[in-house]
Amino acid sequence: MTSRLYPNIIITGTPGCGKTSHCESLVESLNDELRSHFQHLEISKVARERGCIDGFDQERDSSIVDEDKLVDSLEPDLREGGKIIDWHCCDVFPERLIDLVVVVKCDNSVLFDRLSQRGYPDSKITENIDCEIMQVILQEAKDSYAPEIVIELSSEDLETMDDNVERIIQWINSWRENNPDGASNELD
């Protein structure tokens, strides 16, 4: 039986809600504060680097990820623990290897401005705003993981992001206290 000494956390949400900023700030803070080896896995980049791209969706202007190949490639990393997963979907990752799912949400007017600044076409902005309004990613997380490991956090500005990062660090400290020998990577 193998175990991981640090938790794996997914930070997910609609594009533009602040996933990557949260992940980068969290990993920097964790590695400074805990002297640990947390790693930010920006899944879009990881998928390209590991040859997990299966095509390109012209209409959505995005790569199509071979999710099975991606998860197979990531399993050894996740078994190590200490991974902060950054992706707009979360249901592909094995529940036994995930300890916390953070769904980052954002006010629609703020999200609109962020996506516009990125140069997204109107159709992509509308699709992402609709996704946020309908809470698609939050529902996906709730359908895929135990309710006690799914939390939602608002992300409108740097102050709320800093508060969110501090809250996640407190959760990690509690997780480590409750799991001094680590958490099992195996099915219960």
Annotated binding site for ATP: 16, 18-21, 118
Look at residues 14, 22, 27, 9 and name the one whose alpha carbon lies nearest to residue 157. Answer: 22
Q: Any idea which residue has 């979907």 for tokens?
A: 89
Q: What is the DSSP string of 37-96?
A: --EEEEHHHHHHHTT-EEEEETTTTEEEE-HHHHHHHHHHHHHH--EEEE-S--TTS-GG
**Do 9 and 86 form a contact (C-beta atoms < 8 A)?**
no
Rg of the chain, C-alpha, whole Å? 16
Provide the annotated binding site: 16, 18-21, 118
Q: Name the DSSP class of 7.
A: -
Q: Any idea which residue has 């896995």 for tokens?
A: 41
